[in-house]
Amino acid sequence: RSSDLHKGYMIWQEVFDNGVKIKQDTVVEIWKMSKCNEELHNVTAAGFTTILSAPWYLDYISYGQDWQRYYKVEPLNFTGTAEQKRLVIGGEACLWGEFVDATNLTPRLWPRASAVGERLWSSVNVRSLGDAYNRIVQHRCRMVRRGIAAEPLYIGHCNHEYNGN
């Protein structure tokens, strides 16, 4: 039994939306962007814990500094009580394979997933794009130094790339 192992269930939101009877310890993943905040309200109002992935699909093809779009999301920005907001236990960055394969997986993922991590780990009051940019650029350069092919956030370079290190 899963309860003996202290494990529960995680389902996609359609199961909840379709009225399937689910156990109270089930975690509902909100992955559809349409009416995402309404869905967060409904799932948490029913007393279920949830994680949010809807705004963090990293495989969308876009131009420019798309990391900002991921960073600006506030997962608790939905209508609900403090108790409902406590039921939002995290989020997930997702990367499907329609436009990604072994040749571009790592650069597509990083540093976009870093922006998602920044948002999820940061207080609701931490909002400065400039400060986030500086932290993510530093992290990107650490990854590049370690051999991880992370895309640049914008123009610029890592200092170690030009000083022989």
The predicted-structure confidence for 75-90, as pLDDT tens digits, reads as follows 999 999 999 999 999 9
Instruction: Please name which of 140, 43, 65, 60 lies closest in space to residue 100, comparing C-alpha atoms.
Output: 60
What are 140's two structure tokens? 């990107």
Strands laid side by side in the 27-30 sheet: 10-12, 27-30, 49-52, 88-91
Q: What is the pLDDT of residues 60-114, one digit of tens each?
A: 888 889 999 999 999 999 999 999 999 999 999 999 888 889 999 999 999 999 9
Give the Cα separation of 10 and 136 in Å (integer): 30
